[in-house]
Each structure stands twice: as structure tokens, then as C-alpha cells.
Structure 1
Amino acid sequence: MLNDEYQGLFDIRRLALLVEVVEQGSITSAADLMMYTPSAVSQQLRKLEQEVGQPLLNRRSRGVVPTEAGQVLAAHARKIVGQMKAAQSDLDQIAGLNRGSLAVGTFPTLAGSFLPVVIRAFKKRYPAIGLSVRSARFDQLVSDLQSGITGICLLWDYPWNRFHDDSIRLTEVFQESTVLLVSRSHPLADREEIRMEELKKESWIVRAEAHPVVEVLQRAAHNAGFEPSIGFLANDYQEAQAMVSVGMGVALAPKTAVALLHPEVKVISIGDAAPLRRILLAQRQDKVYAPAEVAFQSTLLELAREHAGDYL
């Protein structure tokens, strides 16, 4: 049982009704907004006046005006009602992070490097959220996001082909460099950095099916004054590394693609010969982001700041 200190506390619903009546200047208008009948509002306000022990409203032919006591109580009630709304919002946020699910779209190089770091941290912080990850090609990632199959997704672009869609909000996560892959028996394997001009006579291993890294190579090679000689078309970066390791050629790759490096492959910097690739967080513009999405974004960007130097 509450002690005497709390016996005089007022009903929050009656306080909310008082605020609305004072602001509207009319019991009928307040009743409409609060979805009560005017008689029910009047009844609740009479009970509140009994609790207070003095009149709160002066009834007039065209509405009501607060008494001095009504003005004082309404001023306090506004703060109380506002705080209760904030409390409900906070509780809703917590509830949102203790149930539900989140689907994230990504692409293979990020799924094999940075994203597992984010997933590990997110699952530790929010173990009740069911997290699923879909790895796909660029166009499918965008389609899944727009159709609601995924709540958020990770994309990438290069300076010559910036991604833009008015329906999608983009946040840069980090930028990554392109690196050269050579076998450990290659004459250049002891170098830490090399210029593209020195690679004119090399045979190149590239990704098949017009993969974007092909354009990266072509642009870098053309800027260095040569046409690259393609010696092997690989289906993925692991296959490309395997061919590099046995001397079938050299290759370019985004740095996230070599997070799992073949033991017989050496990574060499090509400086600024190839532009940086942007890694992007994509979200639909037209939706209210669920608490789980906000939490995942926060975790993602926090860890991206910590690991930003790993991919340059």
C-alpha cells in the first residue's frame, strides 16, 4: 500500500484531459480529439476537481477557461504528460530491440571481410534480434531493398559511376583501395609498392562476366599507357588468388577481397593508380527505420571508424 506521501497523486489520464480542455478552450473539442464523449470528459474533470479540492475550470456559454488553480495544474500536467509520452517512446524502443528480426543485404567481398566483425558485435549487443544476411549482385541488392525483402543493404561504387537513386538514402561506411596480387615467387614480390607503368608486360587475371574490377584494371592501365593482356577469367577472388599463387598472372582486387589471403600470394600497393571504392549503407527514404535497423547502423558505423585504416 502506498504511504501518505503518494495518496494525493492525480490520475494521468485526467491530467491529459485537463491539458487538452485548457488548450482547446472547449470540452466538446477536447472530447473529439481524445475520442471521448463530452459527458465523459466532464465527469473525469469533476473527479479531478474533487481530488484537487478546488475548481479548475469556469464554464461559460462559449467554452471554458481555467481558474488560477486550473492554470497551475495544467502547466505541471503538460510536463508530466510530455514525460510520460517520452517514457512510452523509450520503452517502445527497448521493446523493439528485444524482439523482431532484421534482414541485411550485402555482397561477397564485404561478407568475407568486414561484415562478420559487425555481425559478431551486433549479435552480442542485441541477442534477441533475429538477423539474416543475403549476399547478392548489385542489382539484386537494390531490388531487395526497394521491395522490402531487406531492411538495409550494403553497396559500393567508384568515382566514375556513382550510385544515385532518389528513393534510397546512402551513408558512406568507409573507402577502400585497390591492391596488386602477385605470387610469392614473382620478381616483384619483395616490393611494398609499385607503379602501374612497371606492369605493362604482365599477364592479368581478372573476374569474369564484365566484373567491375575489369574496368578498374583497364582505367589504371590506360592511364599508365598500356592495354592489359588478359590471361585468365576467374569466377571469384579465391579462384583469382589460386591462379596468381601458381604464377598464371597478376591481379587487381579491392582490399576487402584479400581479407582471407592465399599463403602463396603477396599484396602490393599501387598507390593512387586506382581510385578508392566507396562502401555504402543503403536504406529506403520513405520508411520509418525500426529500432533494430538504427542499432545495426550505429554498430556498423562505429566499427567502420575503428577499422577505417585496415582497407586503405
Structure 2
Amino acid sequence: MSPLNQESLHAQEFAQSNFKIIVSQNSPLASLTKISFKELKGQSFITLSENFVHDKALKQLSHLNHFRPKIIFKSNDPQVVQRMVQNDVGISLLAETAITEDVHAIELADDSQPHFHMSIAYRSDHLITDFERQVIDWILNLTNYH
């Protein structure tokens, strides 16, 4: 996906993350460290809803690989998605930074793949207070991404 870019907002990217395929530790795919998205045709996907950029990333990968994934469940909660994957209900596409549960993450081998961009954003006409500047600087220094 592309970094946030809107005229009415001042946005500063502070981190990037790759998307990973997550599977349960018991999945036959758990022995893999890398996989092409096209190899996932026929797998049951558990996804985040359209409110998340993950939905766009999944659609982009599906389009590039000429198949529609079999989506069996959508959720607004990344923890629910991960727990369902952990219980071997299906697999999912998730930003690496969002993975918190005991699941196996597989790197995508595709040359063309989306990336997850994280930005600090505020309205362009907003005057930043000293405290807000300190918070922004703290985040940028914490992530060493500026």
C-alpha cells in the first residue's frame, strides 16, 4: 500500500512493515518460511474487515495472482483473527507488526507485494503545541525512522 498522502493532512511516515501469511503451529504450512501467494489458492482465509488496509492488500495480491481467496470469516478485531488462525480455522494475511499471538508467520515470496505504512498525521491547518511536538519527536526517535 502507499504512504498516507492527503493535501488536508500533514503526514510523516515513521515505520513500515511487511505483510505475512499467518498459520497455526499445527498447519501443514507451518514448516514453511516463505511462500508465493498463488500457492495459497484454495486455502480458507480469515480476514480483517474493509476498514483495514489488510483488505486492500489481500485484494491486490489476489488480483496479481488471478484468483479470489476463499474468505470464510471477517472481523474488526486483529486478535480474533489471530486466535481463529491459532485454532487452525484458516489462514490470514497480517502486517508483521500486528502479529501478537502464537502463530507461525510466513514471508511472502512474491516480487510485487504491498507494504504496511505507519504514519503520524494531523490536519495541515493545525498548529502543533510543544507537547504534541515532543510526542511526535519521541515516536520518530523511538522508531529511528526519519
TM-score range, shorter chain: 0.7 to 0.9
Letter in 2 for 1:267: A
Q: Count matched residues.
A: 145
- Quick one: which of 40, 52, 58 aligns to 1:199? 40
What SS does structure 2 have at the residue aligned with 1:205?
strand
Runs of 4 or more, structure 1, over 6 Å off, are: none
Q: Displacement of 1:297 after TM fit?
A: 1.3
TM-score between the two structures when normalised by the length of structure 1: 0.43
The residue that corresponds to 1:168 in the other structure is 9
Check the 8 A contact 2:46/2:73 in 1, yes or no: yes
Change over 3 Å in CA distance of 1:195–1:169 after alignment to 2: same
Q: Displacement of 1:202 after TM fit?
A: 0.5
Please list the CA deviations of residues 59-85 of structure 1 after superposition, one character each: whole Å capped at 9, or x if unmatched: xxxxxxxxxxxxxxxxxxxxxxxxxxx
Q: Displacement of 1:209 after TM fit?
A: 4.8
Check the 8 A contact 1:231/1:248 in 2, yes or no: no
The residue that corresponds to 1:236 in the other structure is 77
Q: Displacement of 1:222 after TM fit?
A: 2.2
The residue that corresponds to 1:274 in the other structure is 113
Check the 8 A contact 1:173/1:280 in 2, yes or no: yes
Check the 8 A contact 2:48/2:55 in 1, yes or no: yes
**1:252 paired to 2:93:** yes
Q: Displacement of 1:236 after TM fit?
A: 0.9
Q: Displacement of 1:210 after TM fit?
A: 5.4
Please list the CA deviations of residues 83-130 of structure 1 after superposition, one character each: whole Å capped at 9, or x if unmatched: xxxxxxxxxxxxxxxxxxxxxxxxxxxxxxxxxxxxxxxxxxxxxxxx
Q: Distance in 2 between matches of 1:197 and 1:206?
A: 17
- More moved, 270-279 vs 191-200: 270-279
Q: Displacement of 1:164 after TM fit?
A: 3.4
Query: What fraction of aligned residue pairs are identical, expressed as a percent?
Result: 28
Check the 8 A contact 2:23/2:30 in 1, yes or no: yes
The residue that corresponds to 2:23 in the other structure is 182
Q: Distance in 2 between matches of 1:171 and 1:190?
A: 38
Q: Displacement of 1:254 after TM fit?
A: 1.1
- Quick one: which of 119, 123, 127 aligns to 1:284? 123
Q: Distance in 1 between matches of 2:9 and 2:119?
A: 11
Q: Displacement of 1:214 after TM fit?
A: 2.0
Q: Distance in 1 between matches of 2:119 and 2:76?
A: 24
Check the 8 A contact 2:4/2:119 in 1, yes or no: no
TM-score between the two structures when normalised by the length of structure 2: 0.87
Q: Displacement of 1:173 after TM fit?
A: 0.7
Q: Which has the higher strand share?
A: 2
Q: Distance in 1 between matches of 2:76 and 2:126?
A: 37
Letter in 2 for 1:270: L
Q: Distance in 2 between matches of 1:208 and 1:282?
A: 22
Change over 3 Å in CA distance of 1:302–1:210 after alignment to 2: closer
Q: Displacement of 1:292 after TM fit?
A: 1.0
Check the 8 A contact 2:4/2:11 in 1, yes or no: no
The residue that corresponds to 1:303 in the other structure is 142
